[in-house]
A and B are shown apart, each in its own frame.
Chain A
Amino acid sequence: MCIAFPGKIISIDENNQALIDVEGTRREASLDLMDEEVTVGEYVICHAGFAIHKVDEELALEQISMLRQLLEDEI
């Protein structure tokens, strides 16, 4: 139920509705609950027709590179 997906913003209309690309499928998502400004090309977490968070790209990359670092330390 609390399932949510990361999606890329394709466009934003005058009613604060965004078109989001989620794994190749286009969905509509309201930006009414966003707590920061987002623009086309950025990623948001979408739940039940609403974007609820802007994906923190820096943290996302940092986490994955930390995990990969662990892997390399192993080899």
Chain B
Amino acid sequence: MKYSDEYRDPALVERLYERVRDTAADIDGPVTIMEICGTHTHAIGRFGIKSRLPENVRLISGPGCPVCVTAVEDIDRSLSMARLPGVILTTFGDMIRVPGTDGDTLERARSQGADVRMVASVMDALNMATADPDRQVIFLGIGFETTAPTVAATLKRCLKANIENFSVFSAHKVIPPAIQVLLDDPELAVSGFLCPGHVSTILGVEAYEQMPEHGRAAVITGFEPTDILEGVALILEQIRSGNMAVEIQYARAVNREGNPVAQKVMEEVFRPSDARWRGLGDLPGSGLALSGDYVRFDVFGRFDVPEVESREEKGCLCGEVLTGRVSPGECPLFRTRCTPANPIGPCMVSREGTCAAYYRYY
């Protein structure tokens, strides 16, 4: 497959491991690199990269798994929505199994008769609405700047076509405020960041300028083995030279300005709002609420959604895992009560969750 296979060439991979080793050998002391994006966490596990890095180079995972950072309150709200009469609740696959308060899930709601459907694209959800005009379709929207524009573009089509039975629960989040929290944390011993590839396709480099300003290396990196290893090598080279800057390793998919069309569509449809993150708490301006003409598609304006008192599962350390404070093995529930077949916390549910990746690959 073009633009995939050539980035998995074993000879190139070996050469890059050497480059990483040689550069790391010039650096005194340990280097910790955080991959922010859950897709990186998954790829790093899948390609067995950690076990082959030099001893003084450690990769840790950050808060970039949208399923994992969704607050338990939002899971509970989606459960209430799914149980409203006549509603079809749609969302991306992993959300179906994330436990809300007392372990309740959308999967359970479905087994009790709620109409909960998985979709691969928000457009599939819109198609359900147009195919079934007597039903109300709600889309539970999660994801960062890569995904939010797809929802925004879909709502533009809804407005144009005057669709009245489609609404959105916007639990989207934006990445820069989360990065700021990490950088402001005096306990965060991270020397460099593997920056998300596809969030950057939309945002460009601006979102990461604060990293070099805080003395951290920053490389926007792709998801194939040669991409990740080259990203790690570039980070180590920045650390060795002391010249920190936002570099783009993933140039075939990212340019410095990002995608201005997607940025504009997002700005038209959404406005910044406060949002609660699992692990990071309430971050001002880190969410996306519908604005202007698009408020009419807001699920909370259209339905009376009953509120419940939300509680996170006791003993689950997802929040600490998401901020790189503990690794999954340090959580008492990991591999004991919490497994992919019976996940207690969202980091074990999502394939991209740090706990799920550790369970599978380490």
Q: A8-B2, A30-B123 are in contact. Are A2 and B252 (CB under 8 A)?
A: no
Q: When chains A and B are docked, how far (Å) is the Cα of A70 from the Cα of B15? A: 8
Q: When chains A and B are docked, how far (Å) is the Cα of A5 from the Cα of B197? A: 11
Tally chain B residues at the interface, Cβ within 8 Å. Answer: 56
Q: A2-B196, A6-B2, A55-B3 are in contact. Are A32 and B146 (CB under 8 A)?
A: no
B66 touches A (CB below 8 Å): yes
User: Are A1 and B147 in touch, CB under 8 angstroms?
Assistant: yes
Q: When chains A and B are docked, how far (Å) is the Cα of A8 from the Cα of B3? A: 10
Residues of B within 8 A of A64 (CB): 6-7
B56 touches A (CB below 8 Å): no
* Chain B, 143-177, CB within 8 A of any chain A CB: 143-144, 146-147, 149-150, 153, 156-157
User: Are B15 and A52 in touch, CB under 8 angstroms?
Assistant: no
Q: When chains A and B are docked, how far (Å) is the Cα of A71 from the Cα of B149? A: 39
* Chain B, 238-274, CB within 8 A of any chain A CB: 251-255, 259-262, 265
User: Are A4 and B12 in touch, CB under 8 angstroms?
Assistant: no
Main secondary structure of the interface of B (DSSP, over half): helix
Q: Residue-by-residue, is A45-59 near B (CB-CB < 8 Å gives 1, otherwise 0)?
A: 101111011011101
Tally chain A residues at the interface, Cβ within 8 Å. Answer: 35
User: Are A30 and B153 in touch, CB under 8 angstroms?
Assistant: yes
Central interface residue in A6, A55, A57, A63, by most chain B CB within 10 Å:
A63
Main secondary structure of the interface of A (DSSP, over half): mixed
A74 touches B (CB below 8 Å): yes
User: Are A33 and B2 in touch, CB under 8 angstroms?
Assistant: no
Residues of A within 8 A of B149 (CB): 33, 50, 52
Q: A1-B39, A2-B39 are in contact. Are A47 and B146 (CB under 8 A)?
A: yes
CB-based closest 5 A-B pairs: A49-B121, A60-B252, A6-B3, A2-B146, A35-B261
- 15 interchain pairs (CB within 8 A)? A2-B37, A2-B199, A3-B223, A8-B2, A48-B150, A49-B120, A50-B153, A52-B198, A52-B201, A55-B3, A57-B252, A60-B251, A70-B19, A71-B12, A71-B15
